[in-house]
Amino acid sequence: MRHAKKTRQTFETKIEVNLNLDDPNEVNIDTGVGFFDHMLTLFAKHGRFGLVVKADGDLHIDSHHTVEDVGIVIGQLIKEALGDKQQINRYGTAYVPMDEALGFVSLDISGRPYLVLDADFKNDKLGNFDTELVREFLQAFMVHGGITLHARVLYGINTHHKIEAIFKALGRAFGEAIKINPEIKGINSTKGLLE
């Protein structure tokens, strides 16, 4: 079973994450940032994997450190849980509509982190979540997970809907990329490794 867990503690946050790529039955998110909890729940549910997150951060300052550090730990655990990436599809792409908004994510679990984010959020805040933290989360997630990630909001009006479309598309694309494909012999790369 592809599973990993970790506790990361700094002067700003304490993050505990349990990731199970093969068992989607347990998803429980508690970061103290309600909108972020909602997005991580969508990410896991639409990706069909288990994710338990408990975060205690310096929310009296703002939610930046909490969101970024959760992204760091999830990325690290993805890398650990996937190991040498034997027989995974590697690539995943998804379009997801959320009412009037349409989100797109395409990713490659290549070992080469790179982020392209094309999205405009008119509202600066949703609850205690700064919408600029979408980029911070994705940046931390892809750097520490070794993932090339392209995310885009093709169109939309409502900021909540736009971000929700991205996180649902991220889940679906990630779920596709981590699937074991019996047609793949070894590692899905002409180099023979993904790192």
**pLDDT tens string 75-106:** 999 999 999 898 999 999 999 999 999 999 99
Among the listed residues 151, 11, 141, 159, the one whose alpha carbon sits nearest the alpha carbon of residue 68:
141
Q: Is 92 exposed, middle or buried (0-12, 13-18, 19+ CB in 10 A)?
A: buried
Residue 170 within any structural domain of the chain: yes
Per-residue pLDDT, 14: 98
d(CA 174, CA 46): 9
Give tens-digit pLDDT for 105-137: 999 999 999 999 999 999 999 999 999 999 999
Both tokens of residue 131?
């919408």
pLDDT confidence tier of residue 142, bands split at 50, 70 and 90: very high
Both tokens of residue 31?
């970061």
pLDDT at 191 over 70: no
Residue 186 within any structural domain of the chain: no
Residue 85 within any structural domain of the chain: yes
d(CA 90, CA 86): 10
pLDDT confidence tier of residue 186, bands split at 50, 70 and 90: confident
Residue 59 within any structural domain of the chain: yes
Q: What is the residue whose two structure tokens read 């990706």?
A: 47
Residue 187 within any structural domain of the chain: no
Give tens-digit pLDDT for 42-69: 999 999 999 999 999 999 999 999 999 9
Domain containing 155 — which CATH number? 3.30.230.40
Residue 195 within any structural domain of the chain: no
Residue 194 within any structural domain of the chain: no
Residue 26 within any structural domain of the chain: yes
Whole-number percent of the chain with pLDDT over 90:
90
Beta strand extents in 12-161 (DSSP E only): 13-20, 27-30, 50-57, 91-98, 101-108, 114-118, 125-126, 129-130, 148-155
What's the angle, vertex CA 186, arms to CA 146 and CA 75, rounded to 5?
Answer: 20
* Total structural domains within the chain: 1
Judge whether 122 and 163 are in contact, CB under 8 Å. no
| Domain around 124 | 3-178
